[in-house]
Structure 1
Amino acid sequence: MSNRAPGSRFETGMTTRRSVLGDAHVDRAGANTTDFDRDFQTLITESAWGTVWADDTFTKRERSIVTLALLAALGHHEELAMHIRATAQTGASEADIKEVLMHVAIYAGVPAANTAFKIAKETLAGMKAG
Structure 2
Amino acid sequence: MATRRSVLGDAHVDRAETNKSPFDVDFQRFIVEGAWGSVWSRPGLTKRERSLITIALLAAGGHHEEVAMHIRATRNTGATPDDVKEALLHVAVYAGVPAANSAIKVAKDAYAAMDAAAAEGGKP
Provide the TM-score with structure 1 as the length reference.
0.89
**1:19 lines up with 2:6 in the alignment:** yes
- What CA distance in whole angstroms lies between the structure 1 residues aligned with 2:75 and 2:68? 12
Q: 16, 28, 33: which is aligned to 1:46? A: 33
- What CA distance in whole angstroms lies between the structure 2 residues aligned with 1:30 and 1:108? 33
**1:87 lines up with 2:87 in the alignment:** no
Q: 15, 22, 30: which is aligned to 1:35? A: 22
Pairwise CA distance, 1:119: 0.4
- What CA distance in whole angstroms lies between the structure 2 residues aligned with 1:31 and 1:53? 22
Query: What is the count of residue pairs matched by the alignment?
Result: 117
Pair member with larger Rg: 1
The equivalent of 1:64 in structure 2 is 51
The equivalent of 1:73 in structure 2 is 60
- What CA distance in whole angstroms lies between the structure 1 residues aligned with 2:35 and 2:96? 26
- What CA distance in whole angstroms lies between the structure 2 residues aligned with 1:81 and 1:120? 6
Equivalent position amino acid for 1:104 in 2? V
Q: Give RMSD over aligned pairs.
A: 0.4
Structure 1, unaligned runs of 5 or more: 1-13
**1:126 lines up with 2:108 in the alignment:** no
Tell me which stretches of 4 or more aligned residues in structure 1 moved more than 4 Å: none
Pairwise CA distance, 1:56: 1.1
Structure 2, unaligned runs of 5 or more: 118-124
Pairwise CA distance, 1:96: 0.4
Equivalent position amino acid for 1:124 in 2? Y
The equivalent of 1:99 in structure 2 is 86
